[in-house]
Structure 1
Amino acid sequence: MAAAATEAASFLASFVLGVLALSLVVSPSVSDAARAFFVFGDSLVDNGNNNYLVTTARADAPPYGIDYPTHQATGRFSNGINIPDIISEHIGGDPTLPYLSPMLSGIRLLNGANFASAGVGILNDTGIQFMNMIRITQQMEYFKQYQKRLEFMLGEQDASRHVKRSLVLITLGGNDFVNNYYLVPFSVRSRQFSLPDFVTYIISEYKKILMTLHQLGARRVLVTGTGPLGCVPARLAQSSIDGTCDPELQRAGTLFNSHLVQVINKLNANYGADVFVAANAFNMHMDFITNPRKYGFVTSTVACCGQGAYNGVGLCTMASNLCPRRENNVFWDAYHPTEKASRIIVSRFVAGSIDYMHPMNLSTIMELDSKLL
């Protein structure tokens, strides 16, 4: 009996140790988790948050998503996947879920989150015509909320470490021009500021946003400047007879981007590290806008989905003209690139020279950080 009891006790102890060991394997672990990815900004990087809002800035109906793996609209302003999805492919993670998605819970939190919302800008009065959006100040509040949820799962120290070793993408600025300053003739902001003064103002506000990201733990942040705002089909439809880009909006983007690089350089100097990386979206886009055939496109002026001149009038809907071959077009709708164009843009993020990525590209970031994380 004593021997049997001893054997039973030994078996029970082994069983308990085995269960504990298994629990350690399957429990969320910062050291084993892929690098988290966080996304902030506007419709260029929104992957579905606006689906959960009462807003006119939505991409949750066909033909959006026609080339997505499920062939269904997801809230991405694309025919397929978008820039954050492609970056996720390069860093080896799953696409981030929208923060408002009920699916973002449990172990999925380790993958990061997408807080972006179509229509938003640097300024809170940008995009008010769309009714509801997650303005950038609210995106930051959601980031704080996310971290509390992560702390509950991992503990404060590991949650902080997971955020600090993450990659962050933020895309803002374009809407402050097209959906604010230049939205209507003699807009409130255009009467308040000359263009150079407006750029100075929104850059000073953007600096505060970037500093907030750093305060919240972000240590590697890809900051995209504006693309060539004067070349999008929506603008061409308003002002171009021959497909020539609008020089005033091109000037606005150039001024904004040069000031943004200066702010990034100053912030990095203050922090003593290359926290912020400027992604020159203007140059990335202009490559295939000025020479579309070099990159396998047929047109860089006509949107694939839309109506009116250059398919740049109104929204992309089931009633719109729809091109049969999306790989021929730089632009999917009046403002947003096709998946093919987005892949070219991200290739510049990954391996681009200093003309595209300053002070380093994503490949260099990943190589450097692999030695530290």
Structure 2
Amino acid sequence: MERKLELMELVAISVLLALLILPNKANAAPQVPCYFIFGDSLSDNGNNNNLLTLAKVNYPPYGIDFPQGPTARFSNGRNMHDFIAELLGFKDYIPAFANSRGKSIFSGVNYASGSAGIRDETGTNLGICVPLNEQIKNHKSIISRITRLMQNDSATDLLLRQCIYSVQIGSNDYINNYFKPEFYETSRSFTPSEYATLLVQQLSLQLKTLYNYGARKFAVYGVGQIGCTPYAISVYGTNGSVCVEKLNEGAALFNDRLKPLIHQLNNNLPDAKFIYLNPSGTATGPATFVTNSPCCTIGGGGGELCLRNSKPCSRPWQYVFWDAVHPTEALNKILADGAYRSMSPLEASPLNIQQLAMY
């Protein structure tokens, strides 16, 4: 039978958490003790470096504006979740699972993998990646490591309940699965509507697995305007439209099913709070931003990444796209600020990340 913790036990566990998580911090604690990140190349910060895949960017000009250089972030500098970690008050960036060591895991872990998707086969046209199911298994191993370090199951449970779990995935299930019929059967097996339903059903199970592992605060992202990337436009054409409509329509079908799922999970899972975040597409930004071309010379990866050691544009802070798919650091900051602060229900519902941290 489950036993409720006594008051003094909770006090002792809270003290233990403070000692373990903030051993040498003179400054204020972060708004949440830890930040766990699940996703794809929009979030990856090094998990693909040692994998046999075209979806890795541990070479220049990637990272030219990042203090540590090319770390395998798919941008010229910080990605969106680096900025969100800063906004949450973390003094260091969340470590990649592949590089996680010692007590650094108390502040969270980034499990994201370039080209990964909700479905296990997604992205394998580019090589090996870590799909969401495998990312969740990796998280389970991190929980075991945290428990061993804490030597207290209750302390681990209390810690995980306070952490934010970011899940931003699904783009590759379209651009590196459904809309790649030369590699995958999904577009011949399912209508766009059926496929979106299937994806959201599977994501629902994956989110519930994380809940069963102790997660309670979830930030879940929709799929952006994948039809507006320079890569999509060059490969598929627009037939006179601004963007590739069939890709954006697929993303919209996914988002239309994800939003009610968030409401359903909030109603059905005790003590949990799920929020839906609209990434506003990857073609957003001030009117002065260059939106129709990438900053770097394209030709790496599967044809959408920067060429190794190529010279990028001189003003990446004025571009939406760093390569033919991924945002610049400048746009990542805008997207992070929106996810963290926006009071618009069209961008963050029912809460934003700042409010979720306080929940």
- Common topology (TM > 0.5): yes
Alignment of 1:268-287 (within 5 A): 268-273=266-271, 275-281=273-279, 283=280, 285=282, 287=284
Which of 212, 215, 234 in structure 1 is aligned with 2:212?
Answer: 215
Alignment of 1:1-373 (within 5 A): 28=20, 34=30, 35-70=33-68, 72-93=69-90, 94-101=92-99, 104-154=100-150, 155-184=152-181, 187-238=184-235, 239-240=237-238, 244-273=242-271, 275-281=273-279, 283=280, 285=282, 287-288=284-285, 292-293=286-287, 296-297=288-289, 299-307=290-298, 313-318=303-308, 320=310, 322-352=312-342, 353-366=344-357, 368-369=358-359
Which structure has the bigger radius of gyration? 1
Residue identity in the other structure for 2:308: M
Note the alpha carbon deviations across 1:302-340, whole angstroms, 9 max, x for none.
1112338xxx95431236562111011101111110010
User: Cα distance 1:361–1:183, how it changes in 2: closer, same or farther (>3 A)?
Assistant: same
Q: TM-score w.r.t. structure 1 length?
A: 0.83
Q: Point out 4+ residue stretches in structure 1 off by more than 6 angstroms.
A: 30-33
Cα distance in structure 1, aligned partners of 2:188 and 2:161 = 42
1:8 equivalent in structure 2: none
Cα distance in structure 2, aligned partners of 1:97 and 1:194 = 39
Residue identity in the other structure for 1:89: E
| Structure 1 portions without partners, runs of 5+ | 1-23
C-alpha deviation, 1:135, in angstroms: 1.7
SS in 2 for 1:142: helix
User: Cα distance 1:191–1:328, how it changes in 2: closer, same or farther (>3 A)?
Assistant: same
Number of aligned residues: 332
The answer to whether the 8 A contact 1:284-1:356 is kept is no
The answer to whether the 8 A contact 2:283-2:291 is kept is no
C-alpha deviation, 1:97, in angstroms: 0.6
Cα distance in structure 2, aligned partners of 1:28 and 1:133 = 32
Cα distance in structure 2, aligned partners of 1:228 and 1:25 = 40
C-alpha deviation, 1:69, in angstroms: 1.5
2:13 equivalent in structure 1: none
The answer to whether the 8 A contact 1:307-1:321 is kept is no
SS in 2 for 1:223: strand
Cα distance in structure 2, aligned partners of 1:78 and 1:304 = 10
User: Cα distance 1:307–1:145, how it changes in 2: closer, same or farther (>3 A)?
Assistant: closer
Note the alpha carbon deviations across 1:250-308, whole angstroms, 9 max, x for none.
11111111100111111111024552111011x354543xxx42xx41x1121112338
Moved more, 181-190 or 90-99: 181-190
C-alpha deviation, 1:240, in angstroms: 3.7
The answer to whether the 8 A contact 1:230-1:245 is kept is yes
Greater relative contact order (CA < 8 Å, ≥ 6 in sequence):
2
Note the alpha carbon deviations across 1:189-247, whole angstroms, 9 max, x for none.
11101111111111111111111111111111111110101101111112147771011
User: Cα distance 1:247–1:48, how it changes in 2: closer, same or farther (>3 A)?
Assistant: same
Cα distance in structure 2, aligned partners of 1:237 and 1:29 = 47
The answer to whether the 8 A contact 1:237-1:313 is kept is no
User: Cα distance 1:221–1:161, how it changes in 2: closer, same or farther (>3 A)?
Assistant: same
The answer to whether the 8 A contact 1:30-1:158 is kept is no
SS in 2 for 1:134: coil
SS in 1 for 2:262: helix
Cα distance in structure 1, aligned partners of 2:270 and 2:143 = 25
Residue identity in the other structure for 1:315: L
Cα distance in structure 1, aligned partners of 2:21 and 2:311 = 49
Cα distance in structure 2, aligned partners of 1:92 and 1:81 = 16
SS in 1 for 2:103: helix
